[in-house]
Amino acid sequence: MQRLERLRTNMESVFFGKREAITQVLCTLSAIAFDLPDLLELDINPLLVDPSGAVALDARIRLGATADRSPIAICPIPSGWSANLVTRAGDAIHVRPASPADLELITELFRATACEDLRFRFGTGREVPAARIRELIDVDYAREITFLALGSDGAAVAAATINATPDGDEAAIRLTAREDCKGRGISWTLMEHVLRYAKAQGIRTVNAVQNADDERALQLEREMGFAGAGAGSEEDDLKLSKAIS
């Protein structure tokens, strides 16, 4: 037992402050393996990692003669859906899919979100538990994805999550924006990006379920072409829908 405890302590010291960088490397390697079906081997040696990121000093790749794609259990992160966008107010934002490495980034976003907005989305006006945030980022990207909008300082200013039905015909969308960043077109720009992504995935209808008291979110969605006022799963919810293809 003492030997195992020493081993655990040594491993924790090795990975201290580096988990996010290592997670990002693993997500990137997963995307490479998915995008290059003829990839047989990829050797990185050495890989230098510190809290600021990771750098591969040398790498070797071996490709096969054919491109037979092996079935995978979980679809990797669609990194190609990152974009630099400008809002109607002229703010530059960077939008990208969230990854498991973004736990702290999203935690800080929700800490800067109004209690009322947290109540509308999560049913609680208090701090969102880490387990709930992990549900947004530890996902199969074929069915669910969260997009982050990042400001010029790299902080998350908004997040939008879209969940598709098993047949991929419909999807539900939920959006959260930081309180001090509202009224600048960030939510609109992020929503447009997510709708473009949904259309590219073959989704036909996007549904937004909002609390009837969330007037700002309802106004945004109606201005973007969402219509209807059907009842959601909860008594105080309204369901708006938008056909995108």
Sheet with 237-243: list strands edge to edge.
83-86, 92-97, 144-150, 156-164, 170-177, 205-211, 237-243, 227-231
What residue ranges of the chain have pLDDT lower than 70?
Answer: 1-17, 66-74, 229-236
In the chain, the N- to C-terminal Cα span, in Å, equals 60
**pLDDT value for 10:** 57
What is the CA 96 to chain-centroid distance, rounded? 7
211: helix, coil or strand?
A: strand
Cβ 142 vs Cβ 136: under 8 Å: no
Report the pLDDT value the prediction gives residue 234, as an integer from 0 to 100: 56
Alpha-carbon dihedral 222, 226, 228, 232, rounded to 10 degrees: -100
CB 145 within 8 A of CB 94: no
CA atoms within 13 A on the CB side of 118: 20
d(CA 36, CA 44): 17
pLDDT value, residue 69:
57
Rounded CA gap, 98 and 148, in Å? 6
pLDDT tens readout for residues 30-59: 777 777 777 888 899 888 888 788 888 898
Closest CA to 80 of 195, 200, 227, 229: 200
Distances (CA, A) of 46 to 11, 32, 57, 87, 166: 18, 18, 6, 41, 41
pLDDT at 68: 60
Q: Write down the pTM of the prediction.
A: 0.72
Write down the pLDDT at residue 81.
95
The residues, any chain, with a CB within 8 Å of residue 164's CB and separated by 6 or more, are 142, 143, 144, 170, 171, 198, 201, 203
- Give pLDDT, residue 206: 96
Domains of the chain: 2-63 (no CATH), 82-243 (3.40.630.30)
